[in-house]
Amino acid sequence: MAKSSEKRLLSEDQAVELIALFLSSARLLISEPPAYGPLRLLTATERLSAMILDDASPTTKKLLQVCIDRIPHTYTLANEVKEYAAAMDELCDALGQCLVDRAKLQGGS
């Protein structure tokens, strides 16, 4: 359950759109190339980022913008494991920063 102090970022239509993507992918991936699994997760991430961008907090917005900007290029690397991993590490770095900022963690070097 979302904390009551947090506002809703998704409409019902948007939630159904994501469910459609998850369920369709879960069915299709049984017979698709292994590299398509990460692609479908990236598609979902990109779409969700676009859906909530306008109403998100500035901290989250930074992460969402990175996802929207970088994911289309990352798709093209699906067949090149090293480049794909490097591109994903950059996205995950932005994710880590967002989590730290949101949790207001202090200290460390």
32 or 96: whose CB is closer to another protein? 32
Non-local CB neighbours of 16 within 8 Å, separated by 6+ positions: none
Q: Which is nearer to another protein, 10 or 59 (CB)?
A: 10
Q: Of the listed pieces 3-11, 56-64, 73-81, 91-99, which binds another protein according to CB under 8 A?
A: 73-81
Q: Collapsing DSSP states into helix, strand and coil, what is residue 89?
A: helix
The rounded distance, in Å, linking the Cα atoms of 108 and 52 is: 31
Asked if 21 touches another protein (CB under 8 A), the answer is yes
Q: Which of 4, 26, 74, 18 is nearest to 49 (CA)?
A: 18
44, 21 Cβ separation under 8 angstroms = yes
Among 17, 65, 97, 101, contact with another protein (rule: CB under 8 A): 17
What does the binding site for another protein look like in residue numbers (CB under 8 A)? 16-17, 20-21, 23-25, 27-28, 32, 36, 40, 43, 72, 75-80
